[in-house]
Amino acid sequence: MTTIPVRPPLVRSGERMIAGVCAGLADHLGWPVRYLRWGMVLATLAGGAGAVFYAWLWITVPTAVEHARRNARRPASPIAPAVSLPLASPPAAWPPGPVRGTAPTLDGGQQVPAADQQVLAAPLTTPAFGAPGFPAPGGSTTSEQFPTSTAPAAAAWFRRRRIQYGKEILLGLGLLLVAGILIARQFGVDVPLGTLIPAAAILSGAAIAWMQLDETRRAGLVDKTKADQAGGWARLAAGLALVVAGVLVMVSGSGSWEQTWLALLASVAVLGGVVLVLLPWGLKFWNDLETERAGRVRETERAEIAAHLHDSVLQTLALIQRRAGSEQDVIRLARAQERELRSWLYRDPGKDAGTLADRIKAAAAEVEDNHGHAVDVVTVGEAAMTERHEALVQAAREAMLNAARHGGGTVSVYLESSPAGSEIFVKDRGHGFDPESVPDDRLGVRESIIGRMKRHGGSATIISGSDGTEVRLRLPVEEDENPAANMQKENHEPPKR
């Protein structure tokens, strides 16, 4: 019971009587299911605590399937993933069993973050087991209960484990204190509730509000959803309300509703006056702060742009000046720089770079760099890369190389991806070539373009005339499905180069 880490996750089991709660809990704790079931039944007899506890677990603990699905998206949480589940039920649904219905003052007011609810519930509910003679180890001594009840929940809270730990122990202690006081009252001891309750309210309200502050500061690190932020505001408001109420009750000196009400009115009026006076200053301060922050952001951006321009454009310009004699080099440098700058300016960083269009562009850039020939790429549609597309890219690259090497003028590359397949056209404006004049040992085109496309279920056609050559590559989506599509554009000319 003292070793925390190696435990099966707390999930609702498939071998179930009702909802698999007891079986799951038994798996998780390593106790016999029978004991748990009987314990649950006994606890139910004690004012319904067992039933409430059962229902609560039913709601919060995921089934094994849900758990697996959730963990597929996240790093696995070793124990009790339920704590990170947003709670469906409000905290007021906790078992009020052992404290005999006096707990609601605490329950209703304290809007505790979802993570803490389990923690809060744990020390609350464990006594519920203990009270009706639950035979579990741990008995009734509080010092032994903590490791068993709070630790698993806390350890599961993998993102904020360290901070959460102390908080949970404090909360547990506080709740135990409350329980102790209530029990003492039962036995006739006079407890100054009139002082204690407001003080507790102030303390817990402040704690909740400060916790929120802490979270906001961490928000940059922890990735938070909007719902979390809304919850944060609710928490802040709840904390504030608690503190205000506590202070009022304490100051007015009595729990009298009338007096409290008057005091509340007066203090709100005073607060309103103060706010009215300070508001302009506050706004001005806030604006200054915002302006300064925006300025800093701009500055950073500028610095980044300057750094990039220095590394790329200025370097290239210097190179161009030195190589001014060689037209080929100047063109090559200018094209490469243009491409780099363009991708830096217009590329959407959110887009993943693994599509067919990107690969074709990269291949074109490579050819451009190596041969100093402009290769213009136009793409329509998108297709994800597969092994067959890889072959298409290789064939297209070969075609572009040939076009740059032998053709003249700008090489035009057009890629069209549609649900039916992908087509690539590589066109140059050279003088064309006569297939007859190409030596038989030049197998580059035949093998690396036509052969490759055929092997992968595609086709390649090469059309050459006096005003240029065009290589047409076609890769249908699934060669098994419609072989007829491939036949349409089979290569009729035996092209060699």
Q: Which residues bind other proteins (CB under 8 A)?
A: 342-343, 346-348, 351, 374, 376, 378-381, 410, 412, 414, 416, 418, 425, 427, 467, 470
Element (H, E) at 475: strand 468-476
| Three-state DSSP state, 416 | strand
For residue 355, the cross-strand partners are: 384
Q: Is 147 helix (H, G, I), strand (E, B) or coil?
A: helix
Distance CA(93)–CA(87), nearest Å, equals 11
Beta bridge partners of 376: 412
Residue 468 backbone dihedrals phi, psi, to 5 degrees: 130, 175
367: helix, strand or coil: helix
Residue closer to other proteins by CB (options 348, 480) is 348
Kindly tell me the burial class for residue 402, based on how many C-beta atoms sit within 10 Å of its own C-beta (0-12, 13-18, 19 or more).
buried
Is 189 exposed, middle or buried (CB count within 10 Å of its CB: 0-12, 13-18, 19+)? exposed
Give dist(CA 45, CA 67) in Å, integer: 31
Residue number with CB closer to other proteins (150 or 412): 412
Residue 387 parent element (H or E): helix 387-406
Q: How far apart are CA 378 and CA 364, in angstroms?
A: 11
Is the CB of 290 or the CB of 376 nearer to other proteins? Answer: 376
Cβ proximity to other proteins, 211 vs 374, nearer residue? 374
Which run of H or E residues covers position 380?
strand 375-380
Other Cβ atoms closer than 10 A to 449: 26
| Closest separation in Å from C-beta 389 to other proteins | 18
Question: Token pair of 30, please?
Answer: 């390593």
Tell me, what DSSP letter sits at residue 218?
Answer: H
Q: What whole-number distance in Å separates Cα of residue 156 and Cα of residue 165?
A: 11
Helix axes 161-186, 114-130, angle to 10 degrees: 40
Nearest to other proteins of 171, 367 (CB atom)? 367
Question: At residue 76, what are phi and psi to the nearest 5 degrees?
Answer: -65, 135
Choose between 80 and 426: whose C-beta lies nearer to other proteins. 426
From the CB of 413, what's the least distance to other proteins, in Å?
A: 8
Q: What secondary structure does DSSP assign to 11-56, as a single string?
A: -B-SS-SSSSHHHHHHHHHT--HHHHHHHHHHHHHTTTHHHHHHHH
Identify which of residues 36 and 471 has a Cβ nearer to other proteins in the complex.
Answer: 471
Smallest distance from other proteins to CB 83, Å: 39
| Cβ nearer to other proteins, comparing 78 with 381 | 381
Q: Which residue do the tokens 């996240």 mark?
A: 74
CB of 262 to other proteins, least distance (A): 59
Q: Considering the complex, state which of residue 427 and residue 446 has its C-beta at the smaller distance from other proteins.
A: 427
d(CA 27, CA 64): 12
Instruction: Quote the least distance from Cβ 461 to other proteins, whole Å.
Output: 13
Return the number of the residue (160 or 335) whose C-beta is nearest other proteins. 335
Q: In a 3-state reduction of DSSP, which class is residue 190?
A: coil
CB of 361 to other proteins, least distance (A): 10
In the complex, least distance from residue 380 CB atom to other proteins, rounded to whole angstroms: 4
Task: Kindly state the smallest distance separating residue 450's Cβ from other proteins, in Å.
Answer: 19
**Shortest CB 335 distance to other proteins, Å:** 9
Secondary structure of residue 443 in the 3-state scheme: coil
Nearer to other proteins, 257 or 346 (CB): 346
Least separation, in Å, of the C-beta of 207 and other proteins? 46
Q: Kindly report the number of other CB atoms within 10 A of residue 47's CB atom.
A: 18
Q: Report DSSP state, residue 80.
A: -
- Cβ closest to other proteins, residue 427 vs residue 474: 427
Eight-state DSSP code of residue 310: I
